[in-house]
Amino acid sequence: MIHALPPLPYAADALAPKMSQETLEFHYGKHHQAYVNNLNNLIPGTPYENSSLEEIIVRAEGPIFNNAAQVWNHTFFFYTLSPSPKSMPSGPLAKAIDRDFGSFDQFKEKFAQAATSLFGSGWVWLVADNAGKLSIISEPNAGNPLRKGFRPLLAIDVWEHAYYIDYRNRRPDFIRNFWDLVDWNVIEKRYEQ
Ligand code: MN
């Protein structure tokens, strides 16, 4: 099975200036593509040759896990963003956020705090458990909460390659601008699935 780079759901310049065309050309066009290529080079002759990305993420270790998870994580991340996003959740997801974090603002503050303080490279996730209870999880490197049985709803990539072109070392600025691109329509659909 050959894994493919999914198309971006918007033009490369559509998220500028909050996420520039140059960032997308490198982050999607080079980094995401490289994880796809690495995975396709690694799996022939292994038990993962015909596995879905999700199956690989749950079972594999080492370079195969790292590249499969990075393919999945980046697709999930890019598909959360939109040039015309719904800026706040409503419906069942909004109720769950209020219940589990106190308010939408308190959720954003807690998520941003986790994203700011994650040391080195990694991802911060909003996840749901089987009962629909929400939590925030920080994962180093390619970490993906599917491995712990959670349903991912939202992720921010805090590897330096995600923000260094637009924000240099200012990760908090990247996180602040990230909120203006997050499409809560997408996250509501993931929650209600
Ligand atoms: Mn990345």
pLDDT of residue 80: 98
Radius of gyration of the chain (CA): 16
pLDDT of residue 90: 98
Give residue 154 CA to ligand 1 midpoint distance, Å: 14
Residues 6+ away with beta carbon under 8 Å from 22: 165, 166
What pTM was estimated for this model as a whole?
0.97
Give residue 174 CA to ligand 1 midpoint distance, Å: 13
Give residue 78 CA to ligand 1 midpoint distance, Å: 10
pLDDT of residue 175: 98
Asked whether the beta carbons of 48 and 71 are under 8 A apart, the reply is: no
Structure tokens at 86: 């719904």
Distance from C-alpha of 68 to C-alpha of 26, rounded to nearest angstrom: 19
Give residue 32 CA to ligand 1 midpoint distance, Å: 7
Distance from C-alpha of 176 to C-alpha of 180, rounded to nearest angstrom: 8
pLDDT of residue 91: 97
Give the CATH number of domain 21-78.
1.10.287.990
pLDDT of residue 157: 98
Domain 91-192, CATH among 3.30.1300.10, 3.40.50.720, 3.30.465.10, 3.55.40.20 = 3.55.40.20
Q: Write out residues in the chain with pLDDT < 50, as ranges.
A: none
pLDDT of residue 188: 98
Domains of the chain, by residue range, sit at: 21-78, 91-192
Give residue 65 CA to ligand 1 midpoint distance, Å: 15
Angle, alpha carbons 129-176-102 (nearest 5°): 45
